[in-house]
């Protein structure tokens, strides 16, 4: 005859195996849902205290930039802060019905802050390849990036824009990306 304590032990182990199986199945389903949800690009979560920043949002209909306050979490480092700022700007442009629509796949690869006073914005290929072609549309994008960066990251006086780490002649056939943008000149142009 099998001792009672052994029966209880085997039953407990069986129950544990079954419950583990159910738990594993549940976890797999959750993982599948997560994979489905992340098929579209999502900006990495920013950590840090929430701050009020000023984003210069392009408005195609008005043909100008509009200053808009936003509360976004900003990390401590200057470079990460700059990247997060422009990603917040991109999220506005990627919403349905945006005043200046940009491609969903458009992204900022990185921003390099080079002292003294120079910033290099590296866009991904989709940003430029899928950008609408036209002087106004392209210039608004450039001005929006440059002014948002300059206003929120103190000390930036000059900005270069690269695409996939390389110099590109124009953003989408018009706006010249081979030269260095002077922040003051861009701001003055925005005030015209």
Partner 1 sequence: MPWTKVPSTQYPDSSSRRKAGYWALCAGYWVLLILTFLSAAPAADEKHISVFSPVAIYTLPVMEHASHEYVGLLELLEPLGRVSTQTDGRHWNLRYNALDAEFVAGKTRARIHGRNFDLAAPFLIENSRGLVPLSSLDALLPRFLGTPVNFHESARRLLVGEVGIQISFQLDASNPPRLVLNFSAPVNPTISTEPGKMRLVFKRDPVIPPESQPISFDSKVITRASYFESNGDAEFDVAATQPLMASFTNNRKTIVVSAIPATTPATGMPAAPNPAQAQPSAANVASRRVLAMVDPAHGGDERGAALSDTLAEKDVTLGFARLLRHELEIRGFAVALLRDGDTSSTLDQRASASNVAHASIYISLHATSQGSGARVYSALLPVEGSSKGAFHAWNTAQAPALPVSRMVSAAIVAELQKREFPARASSASLRPLNNVFMPAVAVELAPGADGVADLTNANYQQRAASAIADAVVSVRDRLGVQP
Nearer to partner 1, 74 or 175 (CB): 175
- Alpha-carbon distance of 126 to 37, in angstroms, equals 21
Conformation bin of residue 188: beta by default, left when phi > 0, alpha when psi is -120 to 50: alpha
Among 9, 32, 63, 165, binds partner 1 (CB under 8 A): 63
Query: In this complex, which beta carbon is closest to partner 1, that of residue 95 or of residue 185?
Result: 185
DSSP state of 46: P
Determine the Cα–Cα distance for residues 106 and 90; give it in Å rounded to an integer: 8
Q: Give the whole-angstrom CA distance, residue 11 versus residue 66.
A: 69
Choose, by CB under 8 A, the member of 85, 122, 158, 163 that binds partner 1. Answer: 158
- β-strands 118-123, 158-163 pairing: parallel
> 88 or 177, CB closer to partner 1?
177
Residue in this structure with the two tokens 């992340």, named with its chain if needed: 38
- The DSSP secondary-structure symbol of 166 reads B
Least Å distance between CB 85 and partner 1?
21
51 membership: H or E segment, kind and range: strand 50-59
Site for partner 1 in 114-133 (CB under 8 A): 132-133
Token pair for residue 26?
Answer: 């549940």
At its nearest, how many Å lie between partner 1 and the CB of residue 172? 8
Stretch of 41-49, 81-89, 121-129, 171-179 contacting partner 1, by CB under 8 A: 171-179
The footprint of partner 1 on this chain (CB under 8 A) covers a number of residues equal to 29
Residue closer to partner 1 by CB (options 73, 155) is 155
Binding site for partner 1 (CB under 8 A): 60-61, 63, 132-137, 139, 142, 158, 169-170, 172-176, 178-182, 185-186, 188-189, 192
């Amino acid at each position: 005859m099998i001792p009672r304590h052994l029966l209880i032990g085997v039953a407990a182990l069986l129950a544990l195996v079954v419950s583990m199986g159910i738990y594993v199945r549940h976890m797999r389903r959750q993982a599948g849902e997560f994979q489905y949800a992340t098929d579209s690009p999502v900006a990495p979560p920013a950590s840090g205290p929430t701050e009020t920043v000023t984003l210069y949002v392009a408005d195609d209909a008005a043909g100008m930039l509009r200053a808009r306050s936003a509360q976004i979490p900003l990390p401590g480092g200057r470079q990460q802060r700059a990247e997060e700022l422009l990603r917040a700007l991109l999220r506005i442009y990627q919403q349905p019905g945006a005043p200046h629509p940009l491609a969903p796949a458009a992204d900022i690869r990185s921003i390099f802050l080079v002292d003294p006073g120079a910033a290099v914005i590296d866009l991904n290929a989709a940003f430029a390849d899928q950008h609408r072609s036209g002087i106004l549309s392209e210039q608004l994008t450039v001005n929006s990036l440059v002014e948002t960066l300059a206003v929120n990251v103190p000390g930036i006086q000059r900005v270069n824009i690269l695409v996939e780490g390389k110099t590109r002649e124009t953003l989408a056939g018009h706006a010249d990306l081979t030269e260095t943008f002077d922040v003051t000149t861009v701001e003055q142009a925005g005030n015209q």
